[in-house]
Structure formats: C-alpha cells, structure tokens
Structure 1
Amino acid sequence: MRTRWTGRRCDSGERVHIEAEDGVIQSILPASEPVEREDELWISPGWIDLQVNGFAGFDLNGDVTTEHDIAEVAHALFSHGVTSFCPTVITGSAARIRQAMRAIHAACENNGLLAEVIPGIHLEGPYLSAEDGPRGAHDRAHIRNPDPAEFADWQQAAGGRIALCTVAPEKEGAAPFIRELCETGVKVSIGHTMANPEQLQQAVAAGAAMSTHLGNGAHPVLPRHPNYIWEQLAEDALTAMFIADGHHLGASALKSMLRAKQNRFILVSDSVMFGGMPPGRYRSAIGHEVELLANGRLQTAADPRILAGSAQPLVCGIENAMKLGGISLKDAIDAVTKRPAEAMGWPGLGSLRAGARANLTLFCVEAGSRIRVRQTVVGGRTVWSEELASR
C-alpha cells in the first residue's frame, strides 16, 4: 500500500509530494498545486535523538528497566516528532546496566515498531571522571576504569545493540578501549571528562569522533585556556552534541559553540523521566534527589549548579538553536536528522531521498521559531498525529 504526504522540504524549501511503500520512500516529486492553508506543513526526515534517559514519567535507568518503560518512552517521543532514539543507559552497577541492556534488547525483539525506532543504545558511563563537576549527576560509587570484558558482557546482553559509548579519555586504559570499540563498529564519544590536551588527542587518534553534551559535565570554574571544552571545540575530527534546552548552555555560549562547530554539531535532548512532569522534588538514579523548577530546569538538590539531565524534548532544542543560537531552520533540522545519521553510520535514516526509510516529521513553524509537530511517521506508518491525538 502506497502512502503520500505533501509539504515543503526543510532542506530546499521546495514543495513536494513524497510517496512511500513498504516503509521506504519511493519517489519525491514537485507539487504544483496551490497552497490551501497558511500554516502549510514542512516535511523533514524523522528526527533522531541520540541521548534519551527517559521521558513522561518512564525511566530507562531505574532499579529495573521494563519493556513497558521503553515502549512508553517511544510513544511519548512520537508526539514530539522523534522517530529514532538511542535509549541511554548511564553509570550504575554491572548488574543494573546488564538488566537494562537485556530489557531494551527484549523490547526490540518483541516489538517490531521499537526495533524500527531504536537503531542503537547509548552507554553513557560508567567509564567517566569521578571528579565533582565533570562527573555531573552520575553516581561516584559506580565510576570505574574501562573494562573490555565488562563491556563485552553488556554488549552480549544487549544483543549487539550498543552503538555509542561515552568515555572519559583520562581513565586508565581509555585509549586502547576506545580503539577496540571502534574496531567493532561502536562509535565513541568523549564526555564527562577533565582530560588534558594530550589525552584528548590520544582518544581522537584511537577513533573517538564525537563529544557528549559538550559544555556540560564540566567543572563550574575552568582555566580560561587551555581547557577541555576549548580543545574539543577546536578539534575538527569531533562532532559535538549539544543540549539546547535553554538551561544546559546559556544563549551566548550556545551561539558561540554552534558557530565554532559550524556543520559539525548535533542536537540531543538528554531527556530524563521528569520531562512533562510538574515542578517539584523527585528521587532519581540520575542525581539521587533532584528538583524540577517551574521554568523547566532540572538540577540536583544537593548542588543546584549541577544539572541532572533535561526535562525538555528535542523539539525545544531545535527551537532554541534557532532563537538563541541564531541558526536557520535547515541547519537546526540537519542537526537532528542528517548529521546524527551520518555520525552514527545509519545510511537509511536522516535524509529525504528515494530508497531511504520513510521516517518523516511534519510540522509547522509559528511565531518565528515555535515548532508545532503535526504528524510523525515511522516506516511509512503514522505513529502520532495532531488530528488523532485530538479525538
């Protein structure tokens, strides 16, 4: 059965008809019909979020991660335009990480839609800095040096689905560990680090190609230069992930970092289970006791300077990248489609072309930079729409 959508491409502004069959885009043709409504749809490849710890009250890092948690996070993300995401498993005991990996693997094996929307798992820790600041809200008790055998055990539990691993280059054995992961096809990102320039260069030489939420997971006060943020901004071999939720990076920092990285940046949400929940204090595996403020800032109760992930969906980062960072709609959308797909080596995702997966996000832009998601399509099938949600 063929399905069809009409709207303006985000990359060119051209109004087109997109047709798909069996989950694959078959054709993209110019649309000559007159526009019938002022808020005509924009069409982009489906949005990709490489860092999702939970959302809408469902936690992927609790004591026990369930298939239900994973499915509910996915369905909540659909309403915000996300068609692909990396469940992100953070620092914890070996047993807890293994259990989460098994649950995600089982969820994908038992649910075809989840297998479609989860192209890989992001392991963020436990091979991170134990230092206050760079450690962020990760539990110091479980921070440790890279262990190839331990990682292999988790990869087996995940059914080979771990696609991205965040590592601090200064950890003992980090460089050979990074090289080994890269040789097996796992992408490595530098993060939660206080590495010196030499250690950062060793990580890049070993194959690290990304920076996890650059500008965060850092000391509150740093030497003006050199420091590990400047070093990663200046390294052209690193694609930087940024959290543009309005809290992780101030407007001037976000604007400067986007300019520094030019077309080598990706937007992520780093969302946790408290996204969409009312303000208050909560218990969490990320940061233990955390406080969600009315303005959406999520911080540790012990030290309000330390953030505990984000309570905002990816769409807020797209809006802020345009509003605060001063970039174009095309550039912002590329940062959640084309660039993450290229960085992760997922050729079927992130592009509008015949032969690509029919993962689409259809939306309107209101009041300059406010984005209103209208429809989310995975494999040619509508998984969420404004019309269906209003019934």
Structure 2
Amino acid sequence: MRHSHAIVNIITLYHKKVRTVNEKFVLRHVKRVSGEEIDIEIENGKIAGITSAGEGCGAHVVDGCGAYVSSGWIDMHVHAFPEFDPYGDEMDEIGVKLGVTTIVDAGSCGADRISELAAHREQAKTRVYAFLNISRIGLVRIDELSNLEWLDRELVKQSVQAHSDFIVGLKARISRSVVGASGIEPLRIARELSYDTGMPLMVHIGSGPPDIREVISLLQRNDVITHYLNGKKNNLFDAEGRPLQEFSDAIGRGIHLDVGHGTASFSFKVAEAAKQHGIGLHTISTDIYRGNRLNGPVFSMGNVLSKFLYLGYSLEETIAAVTTHAAAWLGKPELGRIQVGDRANLTLFTLDNKTVELIDSEGELRVTNQVIEAKGVIVDGEFIECEVRS
C-alpha cells in the first residue's frame, strides 16, 4: 500500500535526521480525519505551528504522504500490570507500540499493589492512568469480589488520596464469576466509596446473577458501563435486540458507555442492534492484555476500530471515540486536540483498502475491505514506530 510505504519513510527520516526531541521538524502532508491536509511543526516536544500542507518550516522535513493524523489515541480499558497473568501486559506493548499514547488500566490493582502500578508508569513512554479495583487484592485472582473482607474501605480512600494524579475512578467487576455469593453487595459498597472519594465508577458487566437491571439501577451520571456490547445472556438488550428500558433510562441520566472489547465481551450482533437503535459511540476501548493481543480476538486498537468502520460508523465518529470523547471523560480535553502550544501528542495512521477477516468475542467472522492501521506516534516530540497487528 502507498500509505504504509510512506510511513516507513517517515520512520527512516526521523531516526536518521531528527536525533533529539528538541530539534524543530515538520510533519508534512498529513491529513485530519476531516480530510484537510496540513503540516505540523514540532519543536521542544510541543506543537509549534499548524499550516496548510507544504507550508510548514523546520530544520527537518518528514513527509507523511497523506497519512492521517489525530490527537493521540486513548484506550480507556486495558490491563497493564505486567506481573499479573493472564490479565497483564507491558505498558508500551499495549500503548505507543499500537498507536495509543494514553492508556487507562481498568482495575488490575487494588490497594495492595496500586503503588507498584504507579511506579511502573515512570518507565513507560505511554501516558498511564488507572481505575482502582475496590478489592484490595485486584486481579491476583478473578473472583476478587467474592469475599467481602477483601473490600477495605479505608485502604481505598487512602489509595485515592495517595495517587490523586493517577487514579481516575473506581472499578467493580460485577458478574457471576467475580462476585460469587456476594451478589450485588460489592456494587453497593462501590457506590458508597464513590460518594466518599468523589470518584466515578467503572462497572464491568457480564453473566448474571446479579441481574443486569439491578446493576444499572445503581449507576449514576459519569459512571462507566464497560462491555456494553457483550453477547452474554445477561446483557443490555432484549431477545429482539431492543435496549432494555432500564438501559435507556441510564443513558438518559448520563451513564458513559465503553466498549471494552476483550476476549469475551464484544458481539457484532449486539453492536449492530446498538447502532440500529442509535446507541453510542462514547468510547471504544480494547480490554487488551498479553493473551488477546498476541492471539486475538483483540490484537490492537486499530483492529478494534476497524470493526466499527465495518459496522458503518464514519471515520470521524470512530476516531472521536478514542480521542475527544475519551479526553472529555478524563477531564483532560488537551489530550483530544491538536493545538499550537500543546505537547506533541499525535497518532499517525492509514485507512487501507484491503480484505481482512475480523472476529468478535463470540467467534463470529466478518470480512471488511477497509482497515485502520496505526503507523506511529509522536509523544513529546519523539517519533515511535508502531507494530502492526491485524
């Protein structure tokens, strides 16, 4: 493909000629998702200028040859604590190497190990935030809410206070295999902790009990439902594919919807029903970790985004779900824009016309003729090549 070859030229030019993040260079002939072609001048790790295509100035010229540029992609649901197996991975493996400049770990760690997760981010080029698991043990085991003694309210409050620059919310995984006999009680505790800390909730939904209606009745404005397109029996749609009334009510009161694709939580059929009824898109996330990155069905953010193009969403809608929408929820609008004076936080990607099989979490295959592939990111003025995963 012409675009893919062009990005290889970007990488070669960057490493040969732009040796420090302080040198001014021009990213030339790139285009916004609207199709507008621009040049972006970068100096001292910041965006120094945005001009019409071909008019940018700098000591070095890096030709994008028409590749797309957006603000850096944000993945609102990943598992980035490398010590946990299988639900863990290296931050940069699921971040900048896949075109994602900001990741949000979705409750890998509770109070026992959140400080370790915070320390890991100091070594990463990817920007990292986290939801704190309300269970102190986190994902050291997958039934972390089955024993209410593992929910230590004081430790949650202390962790939020100690890591206020890092923790963006509280995570509660409310499905049968996680809560066991505890039922809905962990979510009631999470709601109280949300009041006490001022932190919103991200709630994982899946197989019942608890019944999904009981779960969503406890959620409020700015809380996040992740896995909202899962195909399990206890999902948010009735047998005819219509949204449950309780789900529609939750959307009306400002619940945030997050995809959280994962190994078992994204169904093409449910996603088609959601689109038919005008639901979403808020944020597209991967729920990526080592296993589903290497073996699928996730592979990469680009692969997940391509599924939404296949479903009929526009490029603008799809990219907004990993840029402006995610940045707005995080309360960091600067992460979702390309603006002079901001830190250089960019994702370069192509929209390639080729035939690719896409697979959902139910094992259903669909064939698409158009795929999004991340080619590189610029983080604080440094260009990092992406690893393509189909």
Which secondary structure does the structure 1 equivalent of 2:91 belong to? Answer: helix
Distance 1:332 1:151, change over 3 A: same
> Which amino acid letter does the alignment assign opposite residue 28 of structure 1?
I
Q: Would you say 1:249 and 2:286 are equivalent positions?
A: no
CA contact (8 A) 1:182 1:188 kept: no
Q: What are the equivalent positions in structure 2 for 1:258-273 lying under 5 Å apart?
A: 258-260=275-277, 262=279, 264-273=281-290
Match status 1:238 vs 2:261 = no
Distance 1:173 1:243 in 2: 21
Deviates more, 1:152-161 or 1:365-374: 152-161
Matched, 1:203 2:226: no
In the alignment, structure 1 residue 326 sits paired with structure 2 residue 327: no
Counterpart contact for 1:232–1:238, Cα < 8 Å: no
- Equivalent residues of 1:101, 1:157 under 8 A apart: no
Cα displacement (A) at 1:359: 0.9
SS at match of 2:171: strand
Give the alignment partner of residue 214 of structure 1, picking from 206, 215, 228.
Answer: 228
2:170 to 165, 175, 180: 165
Q: Tell me the distance in 2 between the aligned counterparts of 1:241 and 1:271.
A: 14
Q: In the alignment, is the contact (CA less than 8 A) between 2:94 and 2:300 conserved in 1?
A: no
Which TM-score applies when normalising by structure 2? Answer: 0.69
Q: Per the alignment, do residues 84 and 13 of structure 1 end up closer, same or farther by CA in structure 2, a change over 3 Å counting?
A: same
1:100 partnered with 2:113: yes
1:24 partnered with 2:46: yes
Deviation at 1:372, TM superposition (A): 2.6
Distance 2:256 2:107 in 1: 21
Contact 1:46 1:337 in 2 (8 A): yes
Counterpart Cα distance in 2 of 1:271 and 1:386: 15
In 2, Cα distance between equivalents of 1:312 and 1:370: 13
Q: Distance in 2 between matches of 1:225 and 1:76?
A: 36
What's 1:139 paired with? 142
Over 3 Å counting, the alpha-carbon distance change for 1:257 and 1:263 in structure 2 is closer
Instruction: Structure 2: give runs of 5+ residues left out of the alignment.
Output: 1-21, 56-61, 175-182, 354-368
**SS at 2:334 equivalent:** coil
Cα displacement string for residues 206-233 of structure 1 (whole angstroms, at most 9, x for unaligned residues): x443211213395468864999966335
Structure 1 length normalisation: TM-score? 0.69
CA distance in 2, matches of 1:75, 1:223: 38
217-226 or 16-25, larger mean C-alpha shift = 217-226
Task: Show the counterpart of 1:61.
Answer: 84
Work out whether residues 219 and 255 of structure 2, in 8 Å CA contact, stay in contact via their aligned partners in 1: no
Alignment match of 2:327 (pick from 329, 341, 350): 341
2:98 partner SS: coil
Kindly indicate whether the alpha-carbon contact (under 8 Å) linking 2:39 and 2:50 is maintained by their aligned counterparts in 1.
yes
Counterparts of 2:348 and 2:78, CA distance in 1: 21
Partner residue, 1:42: 68
8 A Cα contact 1:20 1:26, kept in partner: yes
Q: How does 1:260-299 map to 2 (within 5 A)?
A: 260=277, 262=279, 264-277=281-294, 296-297=296-297
1:371 aligns with 2:372: yes
Task: Quote the offset at 1:107 in angstroms.
Answer: 2.4
Identity %: 19
Deviation at 1:188, TM superposition (A): 1.8
Q: How far off is 1:81 after superposition?
A: 0.5
